[in-house]
Structure 1
Amino acid sequence: MKIFYAAVLEKNGTSSGKTLIAAEDLTSFSFFQRKTVREFLKFTSEVIVSRTNVEQRVRVQEKEYYCHCFVRSDALSSVLISDNEYPQRVAFTLLVKILEEYKMSASLGPDWLQNLLIKYQDPHEVDSVLKVQRELDETTKVVLHSTIESMLNRGEKLDGLVAQSDALSANSKQFYTTAKKTNSCCGY
């Protein structure tokens, strides 16, 4: 799960959106690709904003990438471009958070969007629902492992009982054979 680009844009009627602030994480691309990728991400986000209606959220897929966009009623917009594994609900939550923090950006400092982008790289750490889901998954694994272990222990005990039963059966057959021979000498 990875976020590549986040931006705040202003929707200017029907023309493309104007980027006000942007942050990116292009470390997964080679050094020589980064400039082209950066330009592509900026262009894509501006086009998506221009084609998104006011008060609308959209998610557009391009190969293995998703572009999430939200345009508020005041034409202020936010865009997030991520891979296909990034949860949609967390992406739209981040878009709203970006727009809320943009209004306070003067008090947050110049790197607030980059810091937010870094913080949201792992959605399990920032989203309480995903945290609970991860904890449930881990608990389920622990319970499943202990159940399997106890079943294996029971299986070993059952194997021991079967072995004892087989030994007892063999001993009783031997006793029967010996008793039959002993009683045959005293026939009436």
Structure 2
Amino acid sequence: MKVFNLSVLYKGAPKVVLLKGAYDLTSFGYFQRGSVEEFMRFTGQIIVERTQIGMRATVKEQEYNCHVYVRNDSLAGVVITDHEYPPRVAFTLINKFLDQFATEVSCSVWPTATESSVEFKALEKLLADYQTPEKADAMTRLQSDLDETKIIMHSTIDSMLQRGEKLDDLVAKSDALSTQSKTFYKTARKANSCCVIL
């Protein structure tokens, strides 16, 4: 999972203005990075231009997802990721950096600002923090923990089932199972043992 770009844009009347961008282009060749960054800027502006105010969208381009959200105040955010990156986390990230940007940079400068004139250092830190969604996002971290617990449970059950003769002994000695359940288990074992494929 990888985040390549975070961008804050303003959807003005004549055109879309890039206010600030942060890029992680380390996975690209050194001589490709300038062109890749330029393409990401261009793509972000086109997507914001074509997204209605108040809407969210995800646009797939080759092996990349471009997540965009244009707020009601015309402030827009773009996150470019690979296909594995969770869209929910990308949109959470957009909301976070747009809210932070709106509190730190006055809305009166948005229509006329340029990327070099806007001071907003939080974008670089967020880009680094959200490279691993499990660390940055509580919901993703919880899901990851649940998946890990499920894998541990499956491996425990699987390791128990691999010891078939010991499981038979446990069933026979168990006080928790009724005689009927024990009989059902023995019958099922016998019925299934004839069908083992070698």
Query: Which of the numbers 109, 116, 123 marks the counterpart of 2:133?
Result: 123
Q: Is the 8 A contact 2:20 2:120 kept in 1?
A: no
Q: Identify the residue that residue 195 of structure 2 maps to in structure 1.
A: none
CA deviation map 1:114-136 (0-9, x unaligned): 10011111111222222121111
Alignment partner of 2:131: what SS?
coil
Q: Which has the larger radius of gyration?
A: 1
Root mean square deviation, CA, Å: 1.9
One-letter identity of the residue aligned with 2:8: V
Structure 2 residue 71 is matched with structure 1 residue 81: no
Q: Identify the residue that residue 95 of structure 1 maps to in structure 2.
A: 94
Distance 1:11 1:141 in 2: 46
Distance 1:13 1:120, change over 3 A: same
Q: Identify the residue that residue 184 of structure 2 maps to in structure 1.
A: none
CA deviation map 1:122-154 (0-9, x unaligned): 111222222121111111111111212222233
- The number of equivalent residue pairs is 156
Higher helix fraction: Structure 1 or Structure 2? 1
Distance 1:136 1:155 in 2: 31
Q: Identify the residue that residue 19 of structure 1 maps to in structure 2.
A: 18
| Identical residues among aligned pairs (%) | 40
One-letter identity of the residue aligned with 2:58: R
Segments of structure 1 that go 5 or more residues without pairing to the other structure are: 159-188
Moved beyond 4 Å, runs of 4+:
none
Q: Identify the residue that residue 111 of structure 2 maps to in structure 1.
A: none
Q: Identify the residue that residue 52 of structure 1 maps to in structure 2.
A: 51
Q: TM-score when scaled to structure 1?
A: 0.77
One-letter identity of the residue aligned with 2:132: D
Distance 1:75 1:144, change over 3 A: same
Q: Identify the residue that residue 162 of structure 1 maps to in structure 2.
A: none
Alignment partner of 1:124: what SS?
helix
**Higher mean C-alpha displacement, 66-75 vs 129-138:** 129-138
Distance 1:49 1:110 in 2: 20
Q: TM-score when scaled to structure 2?
A: 0.73
Segments of structure 2 that go 5 or more residues without pairing to the other structure are: 106-118, 169-198
Alignment partner of 1:149: what SS?
helix
CA drift at 1:105: 3.6
Q: Identify the residue that residue 104 of structure 1 maps to in structure 2.
A: 103
Q: Identify the residue that residue 7 of structure 1 maps to in structure 2.
A: 7
